[in-house]
Amino acid sequence: MVETLIDKCPRIETERLVLRKWEERDLDGLVEMNSDPRVMEFFPDVMSRDESAHMLERLMAKQDELGFACPVVEDRASGRFLGFCGLNIPTYPKPLPFDPCVEIGWRLIPDAWGKGVAQEAAKIWLGFGFETLEADEIVAFTTETNWRSQKLMQRLGMERNPADDFDHPMLEEGHPLLRHVLYRLNKDRFESVSKSWSDGKA
Ligand SMILES: CC(C)(COP(=O)(O)OP(=O)(O)OC[C@H]1O[C@@H](n2cnc3c(N)ncnc32)[C@H](O)[C@@H]1OP(=O)(O)O)[C@@H](O)C(=O)NCCC(=O)NCCS
């Protein structure tokens, strides 16, 4: 993968996926994904076209600055937008209790669930984060009720300590999605769990 490094966020092709930077042409796919109640079940609400357009602007500005911002996942054969999965540096207006951090995040269209797509992309970006960016730790977080996302974190070898559970700073007191769980993966553990990925055991 390092050989394919062009800048901080390379374009990567696997047998079935293209992992790449955001482009203006992703707007329609992003709008469709963000307006789907199944996808947004664990977010405060579905998003309007305008809200998704602002999100795309923010992601593109961040990727210009950092080189990466939750990169796009595309179906290689059809070119269809499947969503995003990858590294990000959270920049909410209010700090997270574990800032500063490198996060791995994901959001895919339902047609891409249950096929190991998120897992495949996440493994590549975790490798990029630890080996190329030389991160010491990568975290992931979600609501305590989002078991699909937590299962993915566990499959990737990430670990939760309940003492790290937190209230999301952007949600108001009493919001049903307020309570979040934090999963962490450090470099040593990555080196050990990722051995089984290349053996095809996970
Ligand atoms: C969270 C999310 C990315 C998880 O997607 P996912 O497809 O369940 O995750 P994975 O890529 O790990 O796929 C694993 C599933 O694919 C199956 N699978 C099929 N082929 C596979 C393959 N080749 N390799 C691995 N798994 C495969 C697994 O058996 C597993 O199925 P199961 O969950 O029924 O046991 C997805 O549900 C999503 O986008 N949700 C909405 C947005 C969201 O909540 N984002 C998180 C906010 S923090």
Q: Which residues contact 112 (CB under 8 A, 6 or more apart)?
A: 73, 75, 82, 83, 118
pLDDT in tens, 138-195: 999 999 999 999 999 999 999 999 999 999 999 999 999 999 999 999 999 999 999 9
Residue 43 class from Cβ within 10 Å (0-12 exposed, 13-18 middle, 19+ buried)?
Answer: middle
pTM, 2 dp: 0.95
Reply yes or no on whether the pLDDT at 5 is more than 50.
Answer: no
Task: Place 9 in a pLDDT band, splitting at 50, 70 and 90.
Answer: confident
Number of domains observed in the structure of the chain: 1
Residue 159: enclosing H or E segment and its boundaries? strand 159-160
CATH of the domain at 50: 3.40.630.30
Question: Rounded mean pLDDT of 23-34?
Answer: 98
Cα–ligand 1 centroid distance for 120 (angstroms) = 10
Q: Is 1 helix (H, G, I), strand (E, B) or coil?
A: coil
pLDDT in tens, 122-134: 999 999 999 989 9
Mean pLDDT value across the chain? 93
Phi and psi for 91 in degrees, rounded to 5? Answer: -135, 60
Cα–ligand 1 centroid distance for 173 (angstroms) = 30
Reply yes or no on whether the pLDDT at 1 is more than 90.
Answer: no
Containing domain of residue 116, as a range?
2-198
Q: Is the peptide bond before 169 cis (omega within 30 degrees of 0)?
A: no
Residues 53 and 185: their CA atoms lie apart, in Å, by 32
Give the pLDDT of residue 66: 87
Cα–ligand 1 centroid distance for 6 (angstroms) = 29
Query: Going by CA atoms, what residue is nearest to atom 28 of ligand 1?
Result: 114
Residue 182: enclosing H or E segment and its boundaries? strand 179-186
